[in-house]
Amino acid sequence: MLLFLTVFVASYLYHGLGITVGYHRILAHRALRVPRWLEYFIVSGGYLCFEGSPIAWVATHRVHHKSTDKPGDPHSPIDGFWHSFAGWLFAPEYKTPKEQFPVVVPDLLRDPVYRLLDPSNPKTQWLICLANCIVFRLAILLLLGPAALLANVLAAGTIFIAAFLVNSVCHLPAHGYRNFETADQSRNVWWVGLLACGEGWHNNHHALPQSARHGLSWREPDISWYAIVLMKALGLAKDIRLPAKKKAEFALAQKADGGMAHAAETVAALEKLADLDPRLTPDAV
Ligand SMILES: [Zn+2]
Ligand SMILES: [Zn+2]
């Protein structure tokens, strides 16, 4: 039982942070920098959770931010809940064409490892990812046994679904609340925040997309942010981007339904962050 729990927690963090810190905050938004070897290790957690090519993932996500909940958004619930949850994956017309990659993801195309994981045929890309995911789990089975394999599969499966919930539930007006009056439907949903390692504070994220921190107060726990703070303490993370306080205050002052109760403490938390370490002085976002 101890082995099962240990592998479950370790797998949840490895795969969860692989998607949230690796694919999302480091690659898609360049919200922080880590040494290249560590970046590859973190991103491998997302890749081995069947997220596919980092180049294609980041391209989809950057287009999502550009056209959120408007025509052109790859996975918005305005096209139906199932579409935003997983249906978009099977709809080629919602995929970002490879011809646009040099414009959308020029930074990732310069990296030989990410290029290697993104062969020209999308089906080949998924087959290579699937093969790597299977080999990884065979290694767990051989080294640690069937209980460890089950723990890893359950953890990876949960975090895989949690990523879909961010795209769908966190854009549904019926759920959660908004801190910021953004031009899209994004919401902060607490249970997605917990399941998806802090990514459920999605309205905060759409308002301040380049911020490395998504949960902005103690009411909005953000495991990915805590991991970034730990990496910074170990001297492994730098150029951490945080929301400019003035912009956050301005956006909070304009926000609509339900979020006003948290406004004062969110601003206070931002002030504390700036005091905490002058090297964290926020970039403009
Ligand atoms: Zn979104
Ligand atoms: Zn994002």
Question: Percent of the chain beyond pLDDT 90?
Answer: 69
Which has more confidence, 267 or 33?
A: 33
HEC string for the chain: CHHHHHHHHHHHHHHHHHHHHHHHHHHHCCCCECCHHHHHHHHHHHHHHHHCCHHHHHHHHHHHHHCCCCCCCCCCHHHCHHHHHCHHHHCHHHCCCHHHHHHHCHHHHCCHHHHHCCCCCHHHHHHHHHHHHHHHHHHHHHHHCHHHHHHHHHHHHHHHHHHHHHHHHHHCCCCCEECCCCCCCCCECHHHHHHCCCCCEHHHHHHCCCCCCCCCCCCCCCHHHHHHHHHHHCCCCECCCCCCHHHHHHHHHHCCCEHHHHHHHHHHHHHHHHHHCHHHCCCCC
Residue-level pLDDT at 92 = 82
What is the whole-number distance in angstroms between the Cα of residue 135 and the centre of ligand 1?
Answer: 32
Tell me phi and psi for residue 283, to 5 degrees: -75, 160
Say if 80 falls within a structural domain: yes
Say if 191 falls within a structural domain: yes
Question: Stretch 220-238: mean pLDDT, rounded?
Answer: 96
What is the whole-number distance in angstroms between the Cα of residue 209 and the centre of ligand 2?
Answer: 6
Ligand nearest to the CA of 192: 1
- The pTM is what? 0.86
252 closest CA partner among 172, 185, 184, 182: 182
Domain containing 143: what range? 2-280
Domain count of the fold of the chain: 1
186 closest CA partner among 250, 244, 257: 257
Say yes or no to pLDDT of 199 above 90: yes
What is the whole-number distance in angstroms between the Cα of residue 125 and the centre of ligand 1?
Answer: 24
Q: What is the per-residue pLDDT across 143-155, written as a single tens digit (0 to 9) for each?
A: 999 999 999 999 9
Say if 285 falls within a structural domain: no
Say if 260 falls within a structural domain: yes
What is the whole-number distance in angstroms between the Cα of residue 53 and the centre of ligand 2?
Answer: 17
Are 211 and 243 within 8 A, CB to CB?
yes
Say if 237 falls within a structural domain: yes
Say yes or no to pLDDT of 217 above 60: yes
Question: Stretch 87-94: mean pLDDT, rounded?
Answer: 86
Cα–Cα distance measured from residue 222 to residue 198, given in angstroms and rounded to the nearest whole number: 4
Residue-level pLDDT at 50 = 96
Say yes or no to pLDDT of 170 above 50: yes
Say if 41 falls within a structural domain: yes
Return mean pLDDT, the chain. 88
What is the whole-number distance in angstroms between the Cα of residue 122 and the centre of ligand 1?
Answer: 23
What is the whole-number distance in angstroms between the Cα of residue 9 and the centre of ligand 2?
Answer: 25
Ligand nearest to the CA of 168: 1
Cα–Cα distance measured from residue 76 to residue 70, given in angstroms and rounded to the nearest whole number: 8
Which has more confidence, 277 or 87?
A: 87
